[in-house]
Structure 1
Amino acid sequence: MKRLILGSQSPRRKDLLHLAGYDFEVRPSRAEEIMEKTLSPDEAVLYLARFKAEAISLKENEVLLTSDTVVVQDNEILGKPADLQEARNHLKRLSGRTHQVYTGVCISTVEEQKEFFVLTDVTFFPLTDDEIDDYIETGEVWDKAGSYGIQGKGALFVEKIHGDYYSVVGLPLARVVRELKTFGIVGS
Protein backbone atom coordinates (compact mmCIF):
# COMPACT_ATOMS: atom_id res chain seq x y z
CA MET A 1 0.00 0.00 0.00
CA LYS A 2 1.39 3.38 -1.00
CA ARG A 3 1.59 6.17 1.58
CA LEU A 4 1.19 9.88 0.84
CA ILE A 5 3.75 12.21 2.42
CA LEU A 6 3.16 15.97 2.49
CA GLY A 7 6.49 17.77 2.44
CA SER A 8 5.08 20.95 4.01
CA GLN A 9 3.96 22.34 7.35
CA SER A 10 1.49 24.68 5.65
CA PRO A 11 -1.86 24.47 7.44
CA ARG A 12 -3.58 25.43 4.17
CA ARG A 13 -2.04 22.54 2.24
CA LYS A 14 -2.92 20.13 5.06
CA ASP A 15 -6.53 21.36 5.06
CA LEU A 16 -6.82 20.97 1.28
CA LEU A 17 -5.54 17.39 1.35
CA HIS A 18 -7.98 16.57 4.15
CA LEU A 19 -10.76 18.16 2.06
CA ALA A 20 -9.91 15.74 -0.75
CA GLY A 21 -10.10 12.81 1.67
CA TYR A 22 -6.43 11.89 1.91
CA ASP A 23 -4.73 10.18 4.81
CA PHE A 24 -1.13 11.41 4.87
CA GLU A 25 1.96 12.00 6.95
CA VAL A 26 3.53 15.45 7.27
CA ARG A 27 7.29 15.40 6.70
CA PRO A 28 8.50 18.94 5.97
CA SER A 29 11.82 19.76 4.40
CA ARG A 30 14.31 21.33 6.79
CA ALA A 31 16.44 22.71 3.96
CA GLU A 32 16.80 26.47 3.68
CA GLU A 33 15.15 27.71 0.50
CA ILE A 34 17.64 29.59 -1.65
CA MET A 35 16.54 30.60 -5.12
CA GLU A 36 18.43 31.94 -8.11
CA LYS A 37 17.25 35.49 -8.80
CA THR A 38 17.50 34.87 -12.55
CA LEU A 39 14.72 32.26 -12.64
CA SER A 40 11.37 33.08 -14.21
CA PRO A 41 8.35 32.66 -11.88
CA ASP A 42 7.38 29.27 -13.33
CA GLU A 43 10.99 28.06 -13.11
CA ALA A 44 11.21 29.40 -9.54
CA VAL A 45 8.17 27.53 -8.19
CA LEU A 46 9.23 24.30 -9.89
CA TYR A 47 12.77 24.70 -8.57
CA LEU A 48 11.53 25.31 -5.01
CA ALA A 49 9.07 22.40 -5.09
CA ARG A 50 11.82 20.10 -6.42
CA PHE A 51 14.35 21.48 -3.91
CA LYS A 52 11.99 20.65 -1.04
CA ALA A 53 11.39 17.16 -2.46
CA GLU A 54 15.09 16.39 -2.83
CA ALA A 55 15.71 17.29 0.82
CA ILE A 56 13.29 14.60 2.07
CA SER A 57 14.25 10.92 2.08
CA LEU A 58 11.63 8.44 0.91
CA LYS A 59 10.95 4.76 1.39
CA GLU A 60 9.93 2.43 -1.44
CA ASN A 61 6.16 2.69 -0.82
CA GLU A 62 5.96 6.47 -0.29
CA VAL A 63 4.69 9.21 -2.60
CA LEU A 64 5.89 12.70 -1.69
CA LEU A 65 3.98 15.90 -2.49
CA THR A 66 5.78 19.24 -2.28
CA SER A 67 4.81 22.63 -3.62
CA ASP A 68 5.64 26.31 -3.55
CA THR A 69 3.63 29.42 -4.37
CA VAL A 70 4.79 32.87 -5.43
CA VAL A 71 2.96 36.10 -6.21
CA VAL A 72 4.23 38.08 -9.20
CA GLN A 73 3.62 41.75 -10.00
CA ASP A 74 5.35 43.43 -12.94
CA ASN A 75 7.54 40.33 -13.46
CA GLU A 76 8.89 40.61 -9.91
CA ILE A 77 8.37 37.82 -7.38
CA LEU A 78 6.82 39.06 -4.14
CA GLY A 79 7.77 36.61 -1.44
CA LYS A 80 6.75 36.41 2.18
CA PRO A 81 7.23 39.81 3.83
CA ALA A 82 10.24 40.30 6.08
CA ASP A 83 8.68 43.18 8.02
CA LEU A 84 5.69 45.54 8.25
CA GLN A 85 6.98 47.91 5.61
CA GLU A 86 7.51 45.15 3.07
CA ALA A 87 3.98 43.81 3.73
CA ARG A 88 2.56 47.32 3.25
CA ASN A 89 4.58 47.78 0.04
CA HIS A 90 3.36 44.44 -1.35
CA LEU A 91 -0.29 45.30 -0.72
CA LYS A 92 0.09 48.80 -2.19
CA ARG A 93 1.62 47.28 -5.34
CA LEU A 94 -1.25 44.80 -5.67
CA SER A 95 -3.95 47.42 -5.01
CA GLY A 96 -6.28 47.98 -7.97
CA ARG A 97 -4.24 45.74 -10.25
CA THR A 98 -4.01 42.22 -11.61
CA HIS A 99 -1.16 40.00 -10.43
CA GLN A 100 -0.17 36.43 -11.10
CA VAL A 101 0.04 33.57 -8.63
CA TYR A 102 2.25 30.63 -9.62
CA THR A 103 2.11 27.36 -7.72
CA GLY A 104 4.64 24.67 -8.55
CA VAL A 105 4.06 21.06 -7.54
CA CYS A 106 6.46 18.12 -7.37
CA ILE A 107 5.23 14.56 -6.85
CA SER A 108 8.04 12.09 -6.16
CA THR A 109 8.74 8.44 -5.45
CA VAL A 110 12.11 6.73 -5.20
CA GLU A 111 11.77 5.84 -8.92
CA GLU A 112 10.21 8.91 -10.54
CA GLN A 113 9.31 12.55 -10.23
CA LYS A 114 6.62 14.64 -11.90
CA GLU A 115 6.46 18.44 -11.84
CA PHE A 116 3.93 20.99 -13.01
CA PHE A 117 2.86 24.53 -12.26
CA VAL A 118 -0.47 26.33 -12.31
CA LEU A 119 -0.87 30.03 -13.11
CA THR A 120 -3.81 32.08 -11.80
CA ASP A 121 -4.57 35.78 -12.34
CA VAL A 122 -5.96 37.67 -9.34
CA THR A 123 -7.28 41.24 -9.51
CA PHE A 124 -7.54 43.37 -6.37
CA PHE A 125 -9.93 46.24 -5.78
CA PRO A 126 -8.17 49.54 -5.07
CA LEU A 127 -7.16 49.51 -1.39
CA THR A 128 -7.03 52.44 1.00
CA ASP A 129 -4.14 52.89 3.42
CA ASP A 130 -6.57 52.18 6.28
CA GLU A 131 -7.65 48.89 4.66
CA ILE A 132 -4.02 47.88 4.25
CA ASP A 133 -3.12 48.81 7.84
CA ASP A 134 -6.20 47.03 9.24
CA TYR A 135 -5.31 43.91 7.26
CA ILE A 136 -1.71 43.94 8.46
CA GLU A 137 -3.07 44.12 12.02
CA THR A 138 -4.85 40.76 11.49
CA GLY A 139 -1.45 39.05 11.25
CA GLU A 140 -2.43 37.19 8.07
CA VAL A 141 0.40 38.75 6.07
CA TRP A 142 3.32 36.97 7.73
CA ASP A 143 3.57 33.55 6.17
CA LYS A 144 2.04 34.35 2.79
CA ALA A 145 3.60 35.12 -0.57
CA GLY A 146 2.57 38.63 -1.60
CA SER A 147 1.47 39.37 1.98
CA TYR A 148 -2.12 38.15 1.69
CA GLY A 149 -4.22 35.04 2.17
CA ILE A 150 -7.14 34.63 -0.23
CA GLN A 151 -8.73 32.09 2.13
CA GLY A 152 -8.86 34.65 4.97
CA LYS A 153 -9.66 38.34 5.22
CA GLY A 154 -7.51 38.89 2.13
CA ALA A 155 -10.50 37.57 0.17
CA LEU A 156 -12.14 40.96 0.75
CA PHE A 157 -9.55 42.56 -1.55
CA VAL A 158 -10.24 40.26 -4.51
CA GLU A 159 -12.31 41.74 -7.33
CA LYS A 160 -11.91 38.73 -9.61
CA ILE A 161 -9.89 35.61 -10.15
CA HIS A 162 -9.11 33.81 -13.39
CA GLY A 163 -7.84 30.31 -12.80
CA ASP A 164 -7.62 27.90 -9.87
CA TYR A 165 -8.67 29.38 -6.52
CA TYR A 166 -7.04 26.54 -4.59
CA SER A 167 -3.76 27.18 -6.38
CA VAL A 168 -3.79 30.68 -4.87
CA VAL A 169 -4.43 29.11 -1.46
CA GLY A 170 -1.30 26.99 -2.04
CA LEU A 171 -2.22 23.75 -3.80
CA PRO A 172 -4.06 23.29 -7.14
CA LEU A 173 -6.25 20.60 -5.64
CA ALA A 174 -8.14 19.23 -8.67
CA ARG A 175 -4.92 18.82 -10.66
CA VAL A 176 -3.08 17.33 -7.68
CA VAL A 177 -5.86 14.76 -7.14
CA ARG A 178 -5.63 13.68 -10.79
CA GLU A 179 -1.84 13.45 -10.71
CA LEU A 180 -1.78 11.52 -7.42
CA LYS A 181 -4.10 8.91 -8.97
CA THR A 182 -1.39 8.18 -11.55
CA PHE A 183 0.89 7.34 -8.59
CA GLY A 184 -1.71 5.04 -7.03
CA ILE A 185 -2.82 7.50 -4.35
CA VAL A 186 -6.59 7.98 -4.04
CA GLY A 187 -8.53 10.01 -1.47
CA SER A 188 -11.73 8.80 0.16
Structure 2
Amino acid sequence: MKKTFETRKLYFGFPVFFLGYKDDVHGYNISTSSSAYSLGSMMVIAMRTKGNAITEITKHRQFTVNIPTQELTKESELAGFNSRKDKFAITGLTYTLGETVDAPLVDACPVSIECEVIEMVECGALTNVIARVTRRVVDDSLIDENEAFRSEIFSPISYIGDGAARQYRYYNDEAIKMGSIIKKIREEQAAEQENADK
Protein backbone atom coordinates (compact mmCIF):
# COMPACT_ATOMS: atom_id res chain seq x y z
CA MET A 1 0.00 0.00 0.00
CA LYS A 2 1.23 3.51 -0.80
CA LYS A 3 0.92 6.44 1.57
CA THR A 4 1.41 10.17 1.32
CA PHE A 5 5.07 10.97 1.90
CA GLU A 6 5.60 14.44 3.31
CA THR A 7 9.06 15.66 2.34
CA ARG A 8 10.59 18.92 1.23
CA LYS A 9 12.28 17.25 -1.76
CA LEU A 10 12.59 13.84 -3.42
CA TYR A 11 15.42 12.87 -5.75
CA PHE A 12 14.63 9.56 -7.43
CA GLY A 13 17.96 9.18 -9.22
CA PHE A 14 19.61 11.93 -11.24
CA PRO A 15 23.13 12.04 -12.69
CA VAL A 16 25.64 14.20 -10.86
CA PHE A 17 27.46 16.63 -13.18
CA PHE A 18 29.94 19.48 -13.13
CA LEU A 19 28.42 22.59 -14.66
CA GLY A 20 31.27 24.42 -16.38
CA TYR A 21 31.08 28.15 -17.06
CA LYS A 22 33.10 31.30 -17.68
CA ASP A 23 33.61 33.18 -14.40
CA ASP A 24 34.52 36.89 -14.32
CA VAL A 25 36.31 36.44 -10.98
CA HIS A 26 38.11 33.08 -11.44
CA GLY A 27 38.39 32.87 -15.23
CA TYR A 28 36.55 29.55 -15.53
CA ASN A 29 34.72 27.58 -12.87
CA ILE A 30 32.50 24.60 -12.11
CA SER A 31 29.59 23.88 -9.81
CA THR A 32 28.17 20.47 -8.95
CA SER A 33 24.54 19.76 -9.70
CA SER A 34 22.15 16.93 -10.47
CA SER A 35 19.30 18.89 -12.03
CA ALA A 36 19.51 18.30 -15.77
CA TYR A 37 17.91 16.48 -18.63
CA SER A 38 18.61 16.28 -22.32
CA LEU A 39 16.30 15.48 -25.20
CA GLY A 40 17.67 15.49 -28.74
CA SER A 41 19.70 18.68 -29.14
CA MET A 42 18.13 20.35 -26.08
CA MET A 43 19.70 20.50 -22.61
CA VAL A 44 17.80 21.79 -19.58
CA ILE A 45 19.51 22.50 -16.26
CA ALA A 46 18.37 24.21 -13.07
CA MET A 47 20.32 25.97 -10.34
CA ARG A 48 19.74 28.49 -7.56
CA THR A 49 19.03 31.89 -9.10
CA LYS A 50 21.35 33.76 -6.72
CA GLY A 51 24.20 31.24 -7.09
CA ASN A 52 27.44 32.04 -8.86
CA ALA A 53 26.77 29.64 -11.75
CA ILE A 54 23.49 31.26 -12.81
CA THR A 55 24.95 34.75 -12.30
CA GLU A 56 27.81 33.96 -14.70
CA ILE A 57 25.75 31.94 -17.20
CA THR A 58 23.28 34.83 -17.40
CA LYS A 59 26.17 37.05 -18.54
CA HIS A 60 28.02 34.68 -20.85
CA ARG A 61 25.12 32.53 -22.18
CA GLN A 62 27.23 29.37 -22.55
CA PHE A 63 28.09 26.39 -20.34
CA THR A 64 29.18 22.76 -20.32
CA VAL A 65 27.74 19.68 -18.66
CA ASN A 66 30.51 17.29 -17.56
CA ILE A 67 29.58 13.83 -16.27
CA PRO A 68 31.93 12.38 -13.62
CA THR A 69 32.23 8.73 -12.62
CA GLN A 70 32.59 7.17 -9.16
CA GLU A 71 36.30 8.03 -8.95
CA LEU A 72 35.37 11.73 -8.89
CA THR A 73 32.88 11.63 -6.00
CA LYS A 74 35.22 13.57 -3.69
CA GLU A 75 35.74 16.27 -6.31
CA SER A 76 31.97 16.41 -6.84
CA GLU A 77 31.46 17.21 -3.17
CA LEU A 78 34.29 19.74 -3.09
CA ALA A 79 32.86 21.57 -6.10
CA GLY A 80 29.37 21.45 -4.61
CA PHE A 81 30.12 22.74 -1.11
CA ASN A 82 32.45 25.67 -1.83
CA SER A 83 30.30 28.47 -3.17
CA ARG A 84 31.84 31.35 -5.16
CA LYS A 85 35.38 29.96 -4.92
CA ASP A 86 37.81 28.73 -7.56
CA LYS A 87 36.65 25.10 -7.76
CA PHE A 88 39.42 24.06 -10.16
CA ALA A 89 41.99 25.15 -7.57
CA ILE A 90 40.09 23.44 -4.74
CA THR A 91 39.52 20.12 -6.56
CA GLY A 92 42.76 19.91 -8.54
CA LEU A 93 40.74 19.16 -11.67
CA THR A 94 41.97 20.47 -15.00
CA TYR A 95 40.04 21.63 -18.03
CA THR A 96 40.18 22.30 -21.74
CA LEU A 97 38.09 25.03 -23.33
CA GLY A 98 35.20 23.96 -25.50
CA GLU A 99 35.36 24.27 -29.28
CA THR A 100 31.88 25.78 -29.73
CA VAL A 101 31.53 27.57 -26.36
CA ASP A 102 33.79 29.66 -24.14
CA ALA A 103 33.40 27.34 -21.15
CA PRO A 104 35.51 24.58 -19.58
CA LEU A 105 35.37 20.86 -20.36
CA VAL A 106 36.51 18.93 -17.26
CA ASP A 107 39.35 16.71 -18.50
CA ALA A 108 38.70 13.87 -16.02
CA CYS A 109 35.04 13.50 -17.04
CA PRO A 110 34.51 10.91 -19.81
CA VAL A 111 31.46 12.75 -21.17
CA SER A 112 31.13 16.51 -21.71
CA ILE A 113 28.46 18.49 -23.52
CA GLU A 114 28.81 22.05 -24.83
CA CYS A 115 25.67 24.22 -24.68
CA GLU A 116 24.42 27.66 -25.71
CA VAL A 117 21.59 29.28 -23.74
CA ILE A 118 18.27 29.72 -25.53
CA GLU A 119 16.11 30.83 -22.61
CA MET A 120 16.29 31.25 -18.84
CA VAL A 121 13.13 30.90 -16.76
CA GLU A 122 12.99 31.86 -13.09
CA CYS A 123 10.80 29.73 -10.85
CA GLY A 124 10.93 30.93 -7.24
CA ALA A 125 14.49 30.65 -5.98
CA LEU A 126 15.55 28.54 -8.97
CA THR A 127 16.33 29.28 -12.59
CA ASN A 128 15.72 26.79 -15.38
CA VAL A 129 18.15 27.15 -18.27
CA ILE A 130 17.04 25.84 -21.65
CA ALA A 131 19.96 25.42 -24.03
CA ARG A 132 20.95 24.01 -27.39
CA VAL A 133 23.62 21.30 -27.44
CA THR A 134 26.39 22.47 -29.77
CA ARG A 135 28.89 19.62 -29.28
CA ARG A 136 29.29 16.35 -27.40
CA VAL A 137 32.71 15.02 -26.36
CA VAL A 138 33.11 11.38 -25.29
CA ASP A 139 36.23 9.49 -24.19
CA ASP A 140 37.21 7.06 -26.95
CA SER A 141 37.00 4.12 -24.52
CA LEU A 142 33.23 4.70 -24.50
CA ILE A 143 32.88 4.49 -28.29
CA ASP A 144 32.77 1.06 -29.96
CA GLU A 145 34.07 -0.04 -33.36
CA ASN A 146 30.75 1.01 -34.96
CA GLU A 147 31.03 4.55 -33.52
CA ALA A 148 28.21 3.82 -31.03
CA PHE A 149 28.20 4.88 -27.37
CA ARG A 150 29.12 2.00 -25.01
CA SER A 151 26.38 2.76 -22.49
CA GLU A 152 26.78 -0.65 -20.84
CA ILE A 153 30.15 0.38 -19.38
CA PHE A 154 29.43 4.04 -18.63
CA SER A 155 28.83 4.49 -14.91
CA PRO A 156 27.86 8.00 -13.80
CA ILE A 157 27.12 8.94 -10.19
CA SER A 158 23.42 8.97 -9.29
CA TYR A 159 21.99 11.36 -6.71
CA ILE A 160 19.11 9.91 -4.67
CA GLY A 161 17.27 10.87 -1.49
CA ASP A 162 14.77 13.13 0.22
CA GLY A 163 14.62 16.14 2.53
CA ALA A 164 16.02 14.07 5.42
CA ALA A 165 19.08 12.58 3.69
CA ARG A 166 20.61 12.22 0.26
CA GLN A 167 23.22 9.83 -1.07
CA TYR A 168 25.27 8.90 -4.10
CA ARG A 169 24.57 5.59 -5.83
CA TYR A 170 26.69 3.85 -8.42
CA TYR A 171 25.69 1.66 -11.33
CA ASN A 172 26.30 -2.09 -11.27
CA ASP A 173 27.34 -4.21 -14.27
CA GLU A 174 23.79 -5.22 -15.19
CA ALA A 175 22.41 -3.72 -18.40
CA ILE A 176 19.47 -4.56 -20.63
CA LYS A 177 19.22 -3.22 -24.17
CA MET A 178 16.15 -1.04 -24.69
CA GLY A 179 13.61 -2.83 -26.87
CA SER A 180 14.92 -6.31 -26.06
CA ILE A 181 12.10 -7.06 -23.61
CA ILE A 182 9.30 -6.09 -25.99
CA LYS A 183 11.04 -8.00 -28.80
CA LYS A 184 11.07 -11.15 -26.66
CA ILE A 185 7.39 -10.67 -25.71
CA ARG A 186 6.40 -10.27 -29.35
CA GLU A 187 8.39 -13.34 -30.38
CA GLU A 188 6.66 -15.37 -27.65
CA GLN A 189 3.25 -14.05 -28.72
CA ALA A 190 3.98 -14.90 -32.36
CA ALA A 191 5.03 -18.43 -31.38
CA GLU A 192 1.87 -18.87 -29.28
CA GLN A 193 -0.27 -17.63 -32.19
CA GLU A 194 1.51 -19.98 -34.59
CA ASN A 195 0.86 -22.94 -32.25
CA ALA A 196 -2.81 -21.91 -31.87
CA ASP A 197 -3.22 -21.78 -35.65
CA LYS A 198 -1.96 -25.36 -36.10
TM class by smaller structure: under 0.3
Output the TM-score relative to the length of structure 2.
Answer: 0.24
Bigger helix fraction: 1
Rg larger for? 2
Bigger strand fraction: 2
Output the TM-score relative to the length of structure 1.
Answer: 0.24
